[in-house]
Amino acid sequence: MKYLKASEMFAYEQEIIENKGVPAIVLMECAARAVVTQMKQTITKSDSILVVCGDGNNGGDGLAVGRILHNEGYKVTILEAGDPKQRTSQNSLQSKIAKNYGTNFVSQIDHVNFKEFTVFVDALFGIGLSRKISGAPLEIIKKINGVKSSRVYAIDVPSGISAEKGVALGIYLQADETITFGFYKKGMEKSELQESFGKITVADIGFFY
C-alpha cells in the first residue's frame, strides 16, 4: 500500500496541471464531487451541515462541497475561516460561485452555534499544513471536537496532521471519516493517529497519475 508525503502529492498534482493540461479548478470540482458522493452514503436532508474552509485549495474543495450540497437541497452553512488576503485564486473563485448560488455563509466564529450542527466538513488545511494550528482555526477544531453527537468528515487530511511527516502538530481534528484523493497520505498507516483519521476512503477523482 502506497503512502505519499504531501510534497509527493503536490508533485503529482503539478504533473497533471502543467504537463497533462488539466486546470486546477477542474481537479477541485472532481475532488468536491467525490467528497459529496461519499458523504451522501451517510448524511440525510434532515442534517444541518457546517463546512469550515481555510484560504487555500483545501478550502476551495470545501467551498465547492458546500455549494454542491446546497444545490442538491441539503441544509448547509459555510464558515470562511482563512485570511482573505492569502486566498488562492481557485479558493476565491469557488467562494464567488457558491455565493452566486445562494449558499449560506458566515465569517465570524461567534456567529456560529456549533451545537446546532449534526455534520461538519473540515476543509481548513488539507495536506499543506506544516505548523501548529493557532487562532481562529484552533478554536474551530476545539469546538467541532466538542460536539460529540455530530459526524465529522475531513477533506484529504484532518486539520492538525502533517501529511509530510505523518505526525500530529499539536491539537488535531477528530474525524469520523477522512476522504483523501488518489493515494493514502503519510500518517494514515499509524495506529496512534486513527482517532484523527477515522474511516479512510481513497477517492478516485478521475485522473490517472
Known binding residues for (6S)-NADPHX are 57-61, 126-132, 156
Binding residues for K(+): 58, 122, 159
For the chain, how many residues are written? 209
Give me the phi and psi of 109, to 5 degrees please: -60, -35
Residue 26 cell numbers, joined: 477542474
103 neighbors 67 (Cβ within 8 angstroms):
yes
In whole angstroms, give the CA distance from residue 128 to residue 177.
19
End-to-end alpha carbon distance in the chain: 16
Known binding-site residue numbers: 57-61, 122, 126-132, 156, 159
Residue 94 burial by CB count (10 A; 0-12/13-18/19+): exposed, middle or buried? buried
Bin 155: left if φ > 0, else alpha if -120 < ψ < 50, else beta. beta
CA distance 158 to 141: 10
**Can you tell me the distance from the alpha carbon of 173 to that of 146, in angstroms, rounded to the nearest whole number?**
10
CB atoms within 10 A of CB 83: 11
